[in-house]
Amino acid sequence: MKGKMLNMTVAVVAWFGGVFGAHTYQIDCPKQFNVKEEVENMPDGWQVSNDINNLNVSFSSMMVYHDKPSKMAALVPAKGTVDGKKHELIWEVNYNTDVEPYYVSCSYSGSRVELIKQIDLSMKSCWADYFEDDQGKSGSLSCSTSEAKDLH
């Protein structure tokens, strides 16, 4: 009987942890990709240099925006904690208090290309992590349903 009671208690605690615990997810910026430029209405006598026709671009940095990045509402990151862990670059993205969604924008060196992705509307805070290895720089944005604390 004690074994059944213990199993039931563990099951209930696990269920409450899943229901009431913080939900997190991660957006990884693509590390590299190719960009092909195309020129329309080429003036007579001109041609595109083959050197810039196909560019391989590498990840550089990321930014969080309130609404689409074309609206230029970039958020300023802060230092603080989320779920008890310290982070250097935190953004508050509480859609419940705002009317527009939030986006992450990934920028790439040697290009004006920015890839954007909407942040899940249930998230309340996000933080950036940057990594570097032999293949170059990479970045990911982790987000949580928990609010950021001790922001400065």
- The predicted-structure confidence for 123-140, as pLDDT tens digits, reads as follows 999 999 999 988 889 999
Cα distance between residue 57 and residue 65, in whole Å: 22
Confirm whether 6 is domain-assigned. Answer: no
Q: What pLDDT, on the 0 to 100 scale, is given for residue 111?
A: 81
Q: Is the pLDDT higher at 51 or at 36?
A: 36
**pTM of the predicted model as reported, rounded to 2 decimal places:** 0.74
Q: What pLDDT, on the 0 to 100 scale, is given for residue 57?
A: 85
Q: Which strands form 54-66's sheet, in the order they lie side by side? A: 32-36, 54-66, 102-109, 114-118
Cα distance between residue 62 and residue 106, in whole Å: 4
Residue range 58-80: average pLDDT?
A: 91
CB 24 within 8 A of CB 142: yes
pLDDT of 106 over the 90 cut:
yes
Q: For the chain, how many structural domains are there in total?
A: 1
Confirm whether 105 is domain-assigned. Answer: yes
Domain that holds residue 127: 22-36+54-144
The DSSP symbol for 149 reads B
Confirm whether 8 is domain-assigned. Answer: no
Cα distance between residue 104 and residue 140, in whole Å: 10
Confirm whether 44 is domain-assigned. Answer: no
Confirm whether 16 is domain-assigned. Answer: no
CB 131 within 8 A of CB 29: no
Confirm whether 45 is domain-assigned. Answer: no
Confirm whether 102 is domain-assigned. Answer: yes
CB 141 within 8 A of CB 127: yes
